[in-house]
Amino acid sequence: MGVNKNYEWPDNYGNPDWFIEDRYGLFLHFGLFSAAARHEWVMTLEQIGTEGYQKYFDYFNPDLFDAKSWARSAKKAGFKYAVLTAKHHEGFALWDTKLSDYKITNTAFGRDLVGEYIEAFRAEGLKVGLYFSLIDWKHPDFLVDGYHPERNNEEYIQNHPGNMDEYTKFMHGQVRELLSGYGKIDYLWFDFSYANRDWGDSVGKGKEDWKSEELESMILSLQPDIILNDRLDLGRGVGTPEQYQRNTRMEKGKKQLVWEACQTLNGSWGYDRDNLDWKTPEMVTKLLIDTVSKGGNMLLNIGPNARGEWDSKTNEIINQVGEWMRLHQESVYGCGASEFFAPADARFTQKGNHLYLHLFSWPYRTLLVPKLGGKVLYARLLNDSSEIKYIQEEGLSEKRKSHKDLNAEVTEIHIKDKFEDHSLMVTLPVQRPDVIVPVIEFILKD
């Protein structure tokens, strides 16, 4: 089956239809930084050199890690796919790489965490993704630049002149390992290119440094069905805006782009014990709805702690969102943007002739939906499937006669004014449904 022709997508990449259908993904940031517990960029934010960072390797032991528990929790929370940091910028590998000793199988943990993750998440029916950092602050051949933790250490810079050709061979080799040893990988998430950065004494790195064309070709030869994100500096793949919400869809010409909004639960991607800037379940739910209403996915990040567990606040948030998803998943999975305009403080998603109105605030009794008059067959609340009454421009006089239970008398002139723009007048109960965001499903005429 070919890719939906409404989407701009590389012909040689795998088919992203599953990705567009799933809409809700889980990002898992886990590594040595989880032990530092103060941001996944702690190595460079605090300019900790490789010697100073060694203690996290020496004492790393996620003894409570249970891949099956992670997978069950992810599925229950409503996630359809996941992306795990196989290797972050610190250079530490969560699999048994043959190309480096800086790997999880050489810690007290002693097991291949990537392999266990893949097996467990596949068993739960979730699509499997891996994050791989193009940056590696541990590798001696990686050229020091303005992001490097040793950027102000003249002795390190003199003793490690770097060789990007050698580093790139190593980096490509690790990618080859990940794509050769675990069966089908659905999604490879790279991080990141920054060729436009210039610190004066150093510049950033991009496609020429990574040999991105060669890397992409190798990836597709190993995994022809895989999808890639857009951070190889090649101008293609899944768009990945992070930590902000777009005002509009992502489009190129008249075609939609495949994209996902990447959001954290608090102010950090990795486990940060003292960061209490938590998003509420309501905020997370609204971010998800807003993203899908603009034709995108949401990749929601959590940072497991150094023992390999999800903390209680993380579980509380994702489980409350998961309960909302249990009742309202039809308005998310397989849905996208609608051509109808939602009323103020509301969002539309649509799938075929099913139109879903998400009410971020609950109006009093009457809601006017523009341009929807004459197009609706049936309306109901999604959480309990209870009917919602409405008046549309067809047969207004008869409809009005059957709605004498309305508190206010509506005059024929008033009705005519309301329906000049072919609006739909919806009658709501005064009491708001006890869910994070109420959703009205409109079944439209063909």
- Domains along the sequence of the chain with CATH: 7-331 (3.20.20.80), 346-444 (2.60.40.1180)
- The mean pLDDT of 47-59, rounded to a whole number, is 97
Q: What is the pLDDT of residues 363-397, one digit of tens each?
A: 999 999 999 999 999 999 999 999 999 998 754 44
Please say if the pLDDT value at position 208 is more than 50.
yes
**pLDDT of the residue at 422:** 85
Mean pLDDT to the nearest integer, 334-342? 97
Contact (CB, 8 A) for 413 and 348:
no
Is the per-residue pLDDT at 410 higher than 70? no
Token readout for 148 is: 């490097």
More confident residue, 416 or 134: 134
Categorize the per-residue pLDDT at 401 as very low, low, confident or very high, splitting at 50, 70 and 90. Answer: very low
For residue 207, give the 3-state DSSP assignment. Answer: helix
**pLDDT band for position 411 (cuts 50, 70, 90):** very low
Distance in angstroms (rounded) separating the CA atoms of residues 174 and 168: 10
The gap between the terminal CA atoms of the chain, to the nearest Å, is 25
**For residue 357, what pLDDT is reported?**
98
For 154-286, list the strands marked E by DSSP.
187-191, 227-228, 251-252, 255-257, 260-264
Mean pLDDT computed over every residue of the chain: 94
107, 2 in Cβ contact below 8 A?
A: no
Whether residue 405 has pLDDT greater than 70: no
pLDDT at 332 over 80: yes
pLDDT for the residue 414: 52
pLDDT score, position 5: 73
Alpha-carbon distances, residue 286 vs 20, 276, 347, 436 (angstroms): 19, 20, 9, 9
pTM over 0.85: yes
d(CA 368, CA 112): 56
Provide the pLDDT for residue 420.
55
Could you tell me the pLDDT band of residue 254, with boundaries at 50, 70 and 90?
A: confident
- pLDDT for 159 equals 96
pLDDT in tens, 130-179: 999 999 999 999 999 999 999 999 999 999 999 999 999 999 999 999 99
How confident is the model over 7-36, as pLDDT tens digits? 999 999 999 999 999 999 999 999 999 999
The span from the CA of 194 to the CA of 96, in Å, is 29
On the CB side of 297, CA atoms within 13 Å amount to 30
Mean pLDDT of 413-435: 79
297: three-class secondary structure by DSSP: strand
**CA 285/CA 437 separation, integer angstroms:** 8
Residue 324 scores a pLDDT above 60: yes
Q: What mean pLDDT comes out for the span 340-349?
A: 97
pLDDT value at position 417?
53
Q: How many CA atoms lie within 13 A of 325 on its CB side?
A: 24
Instruction: Output the pLDDT for position 409.
Output: 46
Q: Residue 104's pLDDT band (boundaries 50, 70, 90)?
A: very high
